[in-house]
Structure 1
């Protein structure tokens, strides 16, 4: 659906009203920028591009702008951020909107204005009359978080846009190292595309060499080494993190969260939940659930609970100064290595 929307915009087949909302901010921002760049000449933006925060400005003031003939050019774009009156959300804003005026505008929109509603919210309140009316008229983008297959397809398309390709192993490696954030994935694909201008192919080796690892991804690799019982490699990664001046308490918190996720995924899978259901209940990306499910197979629930209890005790020691912070995680890794060797 988004491809058709973007295709129409690029071909200058504009709607009078757009409604962009959802939890995937990248797609919303890309669509907004596409509308602006396709509809308004860059030299006319000062005159023909307006932006309003509807938590600070009443809708009738923005509509007055929308109904004003542009000084230059054939059309103008009016961006309306935070239309919380379309949702069930409670807001602290004291701005009151004349929704009747918006209803009237929707029935007869200005022929020379593109009105764009932009809401970073997961859902709208379809019980409200104004929401129903807007959905009947507007071109809509519901920007949901992409699943694993959609993320891979996105990266393939982004690579093709840069006139290169990505093989399947490279796609898997990207998701493991860079995560599921579309802003970061797009930036990394663009960077690697410049690097492979001769071969035109992004491989797993290139991803591993070039992708900038966040603290979270470095710790994910650390957890993976712990799960695989490769304690020497786990310790090496931990020491590298300390050299980068990462705070041990922060490292411990992310390790603990990952093991807690593994424990939750294992327990829910045992009771018959599918990976998509687990992701929905735990409010994490399905790809993280998939990885955690693979890691969970290497543990019993008792072993995972032992790890979580150890991490909780370590957190207490760090916060009460019972032992030097840097040594606490190190001691846990040695203890786990010793316990698992006995089993």
Structure 2
């Protein structure tokens, strides 16, 4: 749905009313920016773009603005932030709204105005008459996490916007290293596009060379090296993290979180859950589930259960000072590499 709305905006096929809500702020911000870029000329922004916070400004003020003819341009663009009255939340409002004014406007919107409601709300109150009316009359964007297929489409589109193409292997590695945060992915994609401008292409080698790793992604790679019996590479990542002043107890906590995810995916897979079902149950992105599933196949349930016990004991030893913190992680990695977990 998000790509359909973006395509219409780029084609200057505008709706009179837009409703943007959800928990993925990048998609909301990008949609608003597309509207600004395509609905108005740069010289019109000062005259025909208005923004209002509906927790501070009565809706009737915004509607009066919406019914005012544009100045030196074809249309007006009015962005209304925090329409809390569409939710079950009372918000932090300092004003009262004459919502009947909005209801009347929605029946016959001004043909020269684009009215945009924007709120970072997980859900709206579908019981309210006004919510139903807006959803019926507006182009609605529910901004939620993109699934893996949508992420691939978005990344190829972002690369194309920067005048380059991106290889499929490069997409997969970038998602593995950077996660699914669209703001972070945008930054990395733009950097890679600049680097690959001469070849007009982003390759997997460029991603491996240029993309910065978060602690979580370094730990994922560290665990992946161990389960594939590359202890030397795993230790190198561990020592690099120490050089970056990452605390061993924090490193251990992230290793524990990764193995907990692997254990959960293994168990849920045994019960017949699909990747999307697992993601909903664990409350994580399906792509993370997919990666964990690949690692889960390399362990038995008994091994994973023993690993979780060992990690719990290592955490206890670290917090009570029973053993050198760095040595505890080194021993864990060596034992994990040898599959000698039970005697750790």
TM-score (norm 1): 0.90
In structure 2, the CA distance between the partners of 1:101 and 1:314, relative to structure 1 (3 Å rule), is farther
| Counterpart residue number, 1:114 | 114
Pairwise CA distance, 1:157:
2.2
Pairwise CA distance, 1:207:
1.3
Pairwise CA distance, 1:278:
0.7
In structure 2, the CA distance between the partners of 1:59 and 1:233, relative to structure 1 (3 Å rule), is same
Pairwise CA distance, 1:92:
5.1
In structure 2, the CA distance between the partners of 1:229 and 1:54, relative to structure 1 (3 Å rule), is farther
| Counterpart residue number, 1:17 | 17
| Counterpart residue number, 1:30 | 30
* 1:158 has 2:174 as partner: no
SS in 1 for 2:340: helix
Unaligned runs of at least 5 residues, structure 2: none
SS in 2 for 1:327: helix
| Counterpart residue number, 1:146 | 146
* Contact 2:306 2:342 survives alignment (8 Å): no
| Counterpart residue number, 1:100 | 100
Matched pairs, number: 343
- Inter-partner Cα distance in structure 2 for 1:163 and 1:70: 35
* 1:243 has 2:233 as partner: no
Unaligned runs of at least 5 residues, structure 1: none
| Counterpart residue number, 1:302 | 302
Q: Deviations over 1:79-115 (max 9, x none)?
A: 1122232223464556543322221121122333321
- Inter-partner Cα distance in structure 2 for 1:295 and 1:271: 17
* 1:80 has 2:42 as partner: no
| Counterpart residue number, 1:6 | 6
Pairwise CA distance, 1:183:
2.2
| Counterpart residue number, 1:317 | 317
In structure 2, the CA distance between the partners of 1:183 and 1:280, relative to structure 1 (3 Å rule), is same
TM-score (norm 2): 0.90
Pairwise CA distance, 1:295:
0.7
Pairwise CA distance, 1:35:
0.6
- Inter-partner Cα distance in structure 2 for 1:323 and 1:76: 67
* 1:214 has 2:225 as partner: no
| Counterpart residue number, 2:203 | 203
In structure 2, the CA distance between the partners of 1:58 and 1:255, relative to structure 1 (3 Å rule), is farther
Pairwise CA distance, 1:12:
2.8
- Tell me which moved more, 125-134 or 110-119: 110-119
- Inter-partner Cα distance in structure 2 for 1:156 and 1:8: 18
- Inter-partner Cα distance in structure 2 for 1:13 and 1:298: 51
- Inter-partner Cα distance in structure 1 for 2:189 and 2:29: 18
| Counterpart residue number, 1:63 | 63
- Inter-partner Cα distance in structure 1 for 2:79 and 2:327: 53
- Inter-partner Cα distance in structure 2 for 1:72 and 1:249: 62
Pairwise CA distance, 1:244:
0.8
* 1:262 has 2:259 as partner: no
Q: Deviations over 1:181-203 (max 9, x none)?
A: 22222332222222223332322
In structure 2, the CA distance between the partners of 1:320 and 1:79, relative to structure 1 (3 Å rule), is farther
Pairwise CA distance, 1:131:
0.9
SS in 2 for 1:152: helix
| Counterpart residue number, 1:39 | 39
In structure 2, the CA distance between the partners of 1:124 and 1:331, relative to structure 1 (3 Å rule), is same
* 1:226 has 2:251 as partner: no
SS in 1 for 2:127: coil
What is the RMSD computed on CA atoms of the aligned residues?
2.4
- Inter-partner Cα distance in structure 1 for 2:199 and 2:143: 34
| Counterpart residue number, 1:125 | 125
| Counterpart residue number, 2:283 | 283
